[in-house]
Amino acid sequence: MSKILVIPSIDIQNGHTVRVVQGIPELNCKEYGNDPVEMAMIWRTENAKCLHVVDFDSAISHSHSNFPIIEEMCASVVIPIQMGGGIHNLDDAKAAFGLGIFRLIIGSLLFENKREFMKILEHFGPLKVIPAIDVVGEQVVIHGRRDPTGQSVLEYIKNLNSVELTRIVVTDVLRNGMLEGPNLQLSKKVFEQTGLKITHSGGIGGFSDLRELKNSEGCGIDSVIIGRALYENKFPCQKIWRVAEKDFV
């Protein structure tokens, strides 16, 4: 049974941490604390080894208003931060890496402008640039999970053929923030078609779901992004990292 890396998610809109349910961010979730920098430090204190940041303002309106906050987050913790949202071109990618992030997650651009995606990939390399697939039902969505592409998962990942990559982030949007369990079949489908390592996102509601991921066969999952379940203490936070990152039954 393989180890799995637990990656807390910090979703940002209008400078605040937001809760995202089925791809829709809700502002001012005071029960979670709305300061992204503070949340980054909290998760580091809880012994997280990586953070996942989504910039919804950049994803929806191509605004870089949250960049100073993300830069401060990177300066405040000593663990890698991966970031997604609103990357349109190589200049955007350079600006994002200039904030101090470790890795860039790119979704919409791969669908809209593969040539520009390839420029970014060639410039920074496959360890630094990771494609993402957001899925609603059987259809891939883009632009902050708002707009359908008209393509199925299998059609979409044809864009990955012959592209040198190391992993992919797979999200079932309808399970995002719902705590209803992971869609392992989706991750398995992507893994079978690409052979890439899978970072799973969406649906984790507690310890049993994390165990299900670890017990999964043929899904290629070696890491998982978790948001709401962590914020709402669905498992003991101090314990989750030790449990998830070792073999357990």
- Looking up residue 31, the CATH number of its domain turns out to be 3.20.20.70
The DSSP bridge pattern shows strands 221-226 and 24-26 to be unpaired
- Among all chains, which residue has been given the structure tokens 């990955």? 160
Active site residue 11: yes
Q: What are the φ and ψ backbone dihedral angles of 56, each rounded to 5 degrees?
A: -70, -30
- Catalytic: which of 57, 92, 134, 209? 134
Tens of each residue's pLDDT in the chain, 249 residues? 468 899 999 989 889 888 766 555 654 444 556 799 999 998 998 889 999 999 989 988 899 999 999 999 999 999 999 999 999 999 999 999 999 999 999 999 999 999 999 999 999 999 999 999 999 988 999 887 788 999 999 998 888 888 999 999 999 988 876 778 899 999 999 999 999 999 999 889 888 888 888 888 889 999 999 988 888 877 765 556 555 565 544
Distance in angstroms (rounded) separating the CA atoms of residues 231 and 249: 25
> Please, which residues have CB within 8 angstroms of residue 150's CB and are 6 or more apart in sequence?
139
On whether the CB atoms of residues 150 and 139 are closer than 8 A, the answer is yes
Residues 6+ apart with CB under 8 A from 7: 48, 50, 51, 52, 82, 199, 223, 224, 225, 226
134 is a catalytic site residue: yes
Residues whose CB is less than 8 angstroms from the CB of residue 161 and which lie 6 or more positions away in sequence, other chains included: none
- Judged by DSSP in three states, 241 sits in helix
> Residue 93's pLDDT is what?
98
Per the domain annotation, does 121 fall within a domain? yes
How high is the pLDDT of residue 173? 87
Query: What is the tally of structural domains in the chain?
Result: 1
Written as six digits, the tokens of 131 are: 């494609």
pTM exceeds 0.75, yes or no? yes
Q: Furthest-apart CA pair in the chain: how many Å?
A: 46
Alpha-carbon separation of residue 175 from 89, 214, 215, 227, 237 (angstroms): 30, 19, 20, 12, 21
Q: Is position 9 within any domain?
A: yes
In a domain, 249, yes or no: no
Is 164 a member of any domain? yes
Range of the domain at 27: 5-244
Q: Which of 11, 55, 57, 92 is catalytic?
A: 11
Residue 69 DSSP SS3: helix
Interacting residues of 64 by C-beta distance below 8 A, sequence separation 6+: 58, 86, 95
